[in-house]
C-alpha cells in the first residue's frame, strides 16, 4: 500500500484548513480584536514537484513559474545567533533553522495538504510496519560525492539511533523500549522496520541526512567530540551539504550568509538547476524592535509581525514595496510553566528551593496561578486582538484538538479559594504566605529581546501580584535561559513557547514523556531515577505510547484527547494565547506560495526576484 495510512488524516486536515481560512479569531465568549486583519484568500495550491530523469539523474522538477537567476534575500533572527551548525546537535530553534538550511531529508511535508512528499527520496511505500524508501539516483553532495543508501543508513543507525547529539528524534521513535531498524537494500533503496505499526513514523523521515564520509570520523571519536562538531567556529569550506544553500560566512552577533549549492537536485521547467537566488542572509538583530527598524529601513526582506505592529504595517503596505500576509493561527503554543523538579544535584543541593518546590508541586497552587491570568487582556494588549486565548496543549488548528475542554475567564475569587484549600493566607498588607509562614516569592524568566514575551511577563507578574504573590520578573539572554532549563535546572517559573504540528501530536513526545529531553516542568537529569513519576506523568507516558501505536485516526484522537484533559487539569503548562501568524515580504519576490504549514518561504529554491520598473 502506498501512503494509504494517511489518507483519512489528510482529508480531515484539509477540511480543517479550509475552515481556518474563513474563520475569524473568536473564543467562545465572542472575543475579537478591533484591529483584526481578515485572512485574505491568497492561498494558492502549491504545485507538487515531479521526478524527471536526465542522463541517469532523478531530478526533482519544480512546476512553478520559471524565474530569473540571481539576487539575495535577507531574513533575520532574534537573539545572539546560533550555537551550532550541526543539525543533529541543535537544541534551540535558531540553531535548528540555520543548520537545516543546508541539509535535506528523505521526505518533506506538502505546505497545503500536509501530505508527506518526496525530497531526497524519489518515492516511498508503506506496508504495515515496513517503510521502503527509494532514493533519487545520481544526486551528489556539494563536494561531488554521490548521495546513496549508505548515507541514509549511517545517519539513522550511527547518529540518531545511537543517541549522538540531540536525542529528540530518537526519543520520539522508541516503541515498547525498542527502536526501528534500518537496512540497505541496494545503493538507492533503504528499508525501515518499526517494532509495531507506528503511525507517526513517516513524518520523522523529514530529518536531515548526513554525508557519511564527513560525519563518520566525528562519530567514531565519540559523543564529546561530536557535540562540538560543525560548531559556529567551523570554516565554511568544511561543510558538505545536500540543501539548496551552503554557508559562506558567519560573523558572530551580526550575520550568517549562505550561497547557492551548484549541485542541488531541483530543476525548473527548463531543466535548469535551482535555486534561483545567489544568496540567503540572516541578520542577527538582537531584539524585535531592532528587527522592525531594519525592515522599515530596507535592510530586511521578510519579517514576522507581532500584533502591536500589524495595523501600522497594513497602513504602510498601501504605499510601500511589501505585502502583509495573514497565515492563520499559530501551530505553536505559548505558556507559563513551573519547575516541579524536587531532586538534588551532584553536590547534594536541591535544584529548586524545597519551600518553593512544595508550592509548585501543589495542584491547587498551579490552578490558582492559571485562574489568575487574564488571557483576554493578553490578546488585546499584546497581540492587539490578533489571536485567541489558549487553554489546551494542542494548538487551535490541530486536527487533534480536544474541543470538550472549555475556556474560562480570569477568576481571582476561584484562585483564592484554591490557595485557601492548601493553607495559603494573606497578611494585613495583602502579601501571600504558605501554611508554614513563608512569603510566596519566586522568579519568573523569559528570553530577553523578545518584546512579546517580555510584555506578557509584565502582565503575568501583575496578575499574580493580585493574589499577593511577589514575582521577580527576569528576562535573560536566550542561550542562558536554555541552559537553565536543560542543564542547571535553577529556575522557578518561565514564559516560553514551543513549535508544534497540527497534524501529529507525537512530535511533542519528548515534552510530555517523563524521560523526554524537553520535559522541562519536571526534567530528570541523565542517569537519574525514573521511578519517581507523578501519577499523572505515568498516565501521560502510557497515552503517548498507545496513541502512537494506534493506526486509526479515531482511536488516536481518543488517546490524545485524554492527554490534553490531563494537561488541562494538572497545569504542568499554563497556556496563554494563540496569535495569528502575520508576515510581510517584499513585492519583488515571486513564486510565493504562503501557507499555514509552510509560511512564506518554504519553497526557497523556487523563489526569484523580479525587479520592478522605475
How far is 524 from 467, CA to CA, in rounded Å?
Answer: 31
3-class SS letters over 553-596: HHHHHHHHHHHHHHHHHHCCEEECEEEEEEEEEECCEECCCCEC
Residues comprising the chain, all counted: 614
CB of 579 within 8 A of CB of 248?
no
Query: Under DSSP, is residue 210 helix (H, G, I), strand (E, B) or coil?
Result: coil
Q: What is the pLDDT of residue 516?
A: 85
Query: Which CATH code fits 333-579?
Result: 3.10.105.10
Instruction: Give the distance, in angstroms, between the CA of residue 102 and the centroid of all CA atoms in the same chain.
Output: 18
Closest CA to 394 of 332, 329, 328: 332
Please, which pLDDT band fits residue 504 given cuts at 50, 70 and 90?
confident
User: What average pLDDT is seen over the chain?
Assistant: 89
Strand partners, 178: 175
- The cell for 122 is 524519489
pLDDT tens digits along 285-327: 988 899 999 999 999 999 999 888 999 999 999 999 999 999 9
Closest CA to 129 of 210, 75, 221, 200: 200
Please state, as a whole number, how many other Cβ atoms lie within 10 Å of the Cβ of residue 551.
14
Q: What is the pLDDT of residue 14?
A: 35
Closest CA to 3 of 122, 97, 99, 123: 123
pLDDT tens digits along 349-359: 888 999 999 99
pLDDT tens digits along 237-284: 999 999 999 999 999 999 999 999 999 999 999 999 999 999 999 999
How far is 481 from 590, CA to CA, in rounded Å?
Answer: 38
| ∠ Cα 305 310 314 (to 5°) | 120
Residues whose CB falls within 8 Å of the CB of residue 123, separated by 6 or more in sequence, listed in order: 51, 134
Instruction: Give the distance, in angstroms, between the CA of residue 124 and the centroid of all CA atoms in the same chain.
Output: 25
pLDDT tens digits along 451-492: 889 999 999 999 999 999 999 999 998 888 988 888 889 999
How far is 474 from 441, CA to CA, in rounded Å?
Answer: 13
How far is 38 from 270, CA to CA, in rounded Å?
Answer: 38
Overall average pLDDT of the 192-218 stretch: 94
How far is 389 from 328, CA to CA, in rounded Å?
Answer: 15
Q: What is the pLDDT of residue 100?
A: 92
Q: What is the pLDDT of residue 503?
A: 85
CB of 82 within 8 A of CB of 256?
yes
- The cell for 313 is 504595517
- Is the per-residue pLDDT at 3 higher than 50? no
pLDDT tens digits along 55-68: 999 999 999 999 99
Query: Under DSSP, is residue 260 helix (H, G, I), strand (E, B) or coil?
Result: strand
Q: What is the pLDDT of residue 529?
A: 67
What 8-state DSSP symbol labels residue 577? E
Boundaries of every domain in the chain: 333-579
Q: What is the pLDDT of residue 12?
A: 33
Name which residue leads in pLDDT, 164 or 349.
Answer: 164
How far is 375 from 29, CA to CA, in rounded Å?
Answer: 12
Q: pTM above the 0.85 mark?
A: no
CB of 342 within 8 A of CB of 494?
no
- Is the per-residue pLDDT at 32 higher than 70? no
Name which residue leads in pLDDT, 354 or 80.
Answer: 354
Q: Mean pLDDT lowest for which of 79-88, 94-103, 215-224, 517-526?
A: 517-526
Instruction: Give the distance, in angstroms, between the CA of residue 470 and the centroid of all CA atoms in the same chain.
Output: 32
Q: Cis bond leading into 275, ω under 30°?
A: yes
- The cell for 121 is 527520496
Q: What is the pLDDT of residue 130?
A: 95
pLDDT tens digits along 534-564: 999 999 999 998 998 888 889 999 999 999 9
Amino acid at each position: 500500500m502506498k501512503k494509504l495510512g494517511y489518507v483519512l488524516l489528510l482529508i480531515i486536515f484539509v477540511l480543517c484548513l479550509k475552515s481556518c481560512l474563513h474563520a475569524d479569531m473568536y473564543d467562545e465568549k465572542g472575543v475579537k480584536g478591533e484591529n483584526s486583519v481578515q485572512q485574505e484568500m491568497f492561498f494558492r495550491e502549491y504545485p507538487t514537484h515531479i521526478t524527471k530523469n536526465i542522463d541517469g539523474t532523478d531530478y526533482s522538477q519544480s512546476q512553478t513559474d520559471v524565474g530569473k537567476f540571481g539576487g539575495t534575500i535577507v531574513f533575520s533572527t532574534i537573539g545572539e545567533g546560533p550555537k551550532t551548525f550541526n543539525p543533529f546537535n541543535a537544541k534551540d530553534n535558531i540553531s535548528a533553522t540555520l543548520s537545516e538550511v543546508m541539509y535535506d531529508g528523505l521526505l518533506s511535508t506538502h505546505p497545503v495538504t500536509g501530505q508527506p512528499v518526496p525530497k531526497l527520496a524519489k518515492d516511498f511505500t508503506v506496508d504495515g510496519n515496513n517503510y521502503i524508501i527509494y532514493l533519487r539516483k545520481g544526486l551528489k553532495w556539494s563536494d561531488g560525492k554521490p548521495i546513496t543508501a549508505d548515507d541514509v543508513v549511517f545517519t539513522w543507525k550511527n547518529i540518531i539511533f545511537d543517541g549522538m547529539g540531540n536525542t529528540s528524534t530518537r526519543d520520539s521513535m522508541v516503541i515498547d523500549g525498542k527502536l526501528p531498524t534500518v537496512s540497505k537494500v541496494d545503493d538507492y533503496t533503504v528499508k525501515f522496520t518499526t517494532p509495531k505499526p507506528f503511525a507517526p513514523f513517516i513524518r520523522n523521515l523529514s530529518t536531515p541526512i548526513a554525508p557519511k564520509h564527513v560525519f563518520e570520523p566525528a562519530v567514531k571519536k565519540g559523543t564529546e567530540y561530536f557535540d562540538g562538531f560543525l560548531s559556529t567556529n567551523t570554516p565554511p569550506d568544511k561543510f558538505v551539504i545536500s540543501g539548496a544553500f551552503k554557508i559562506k560566512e558567519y560573523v558572530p552577533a551580526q550575520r550568517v550568509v549562505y550561497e547557492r549549492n551548484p549541485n542541488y537536485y531541483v530543476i525548473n521547467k527548463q531543466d535548469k538547476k535551482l535555486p534561483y537566488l545567489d544568496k540567503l542572509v540572516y541578520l542577527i538583530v538582537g531584539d524585535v524592535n531592532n528587527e522592525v527598524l531594519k525592515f522599515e529601513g530596507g535592510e530586511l526582506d521578510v519579517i514576522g509581525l507581532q500584533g502591536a505592529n500589524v495595523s501600522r504595517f497594513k497602513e504602510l503596505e498601501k504605499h510601500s514595496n511589501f505585502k502583509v500576509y495573514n497565515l492563520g493561527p499559530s501551530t505553536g503554543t505559548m505558556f507559563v510553566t513551573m519547575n516541579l523538579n524536587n531532586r538534588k544535584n551532584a553536590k547534594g543541593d536541591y535544584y529548586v528551593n524545597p519551600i518553593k518546590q512544595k508550592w509548585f508541586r501543589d495542584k491547587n497552587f498551579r490552578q490558582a496561578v492559571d485562574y489568575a491570568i487574564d488571557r483576554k487582556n493578553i490578546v488585546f494588549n499584546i497581540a492587539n486582538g490578533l489571536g485567541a486565548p489558549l487553554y489546551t496543549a494542542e494548538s487551535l488548528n490541530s486536527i487533534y484538538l480536544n474541543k470538550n475542554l472549555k475556556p474560562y475567564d480570569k477568576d481571582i475569587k476561584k484562585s483564592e479559594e484554591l490557595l485557601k484549600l492548601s493553607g495559603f493566607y494573606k497578611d494585613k498588607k495583602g502579601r501571600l504566605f504558605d501554611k508554614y509562614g513563608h512569603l510566596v516569592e519566586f522568579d519568573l524568566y523569559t528570553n530577553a529581546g523578545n518584546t512579546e514575551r517580555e510584555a506578557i511577563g509584565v502582565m503575568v507578574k501583575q496578575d499574580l501580584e493580585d493574589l499577593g504573590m511577589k514575582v521577580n520578573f527576569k528576562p535573560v539572554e536566550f542561550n542562558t535561559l536554555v541552559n537553565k532549563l536543560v542543564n542547571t535546572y535553577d529556575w522557578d517559573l518561565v514564559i516560553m513557547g514551543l513549535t508544534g504540528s497540527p497534524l501529529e501530536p507525537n512530535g511533542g513526545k519528548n515534552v510530555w514523556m517523563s524521560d523526554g529531553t524537553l520535559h522541562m516542568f519536571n526534567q530528570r537529569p541523565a542517569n537519574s531515577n525514573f521511578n519517581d513519576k507523578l501519577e499523572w506523568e505515568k498516565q501521560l507516558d502510557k497515552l503517548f505510547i498507545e496513541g502512537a501505536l494506534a493506526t486509526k485516526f479515531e482511536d488516536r484522537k481518543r488517546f490524545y484527547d485524554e492527554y490534553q484533559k490531563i494537561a488541562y487539569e494538572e497545569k504542568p503548562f499554563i497556556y496563554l494565547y494563540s496569535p495569528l501568524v502575520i508576515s510581510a515580504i517584499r513585492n519583488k519576490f515571486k513564486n510565493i506560495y504562503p501557507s499555514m504549514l509552510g509560511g512564506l518561504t518554504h519553497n526557497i529554491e523556487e523563489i526569484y526576484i523580479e525587479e520592478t520598473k522605475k
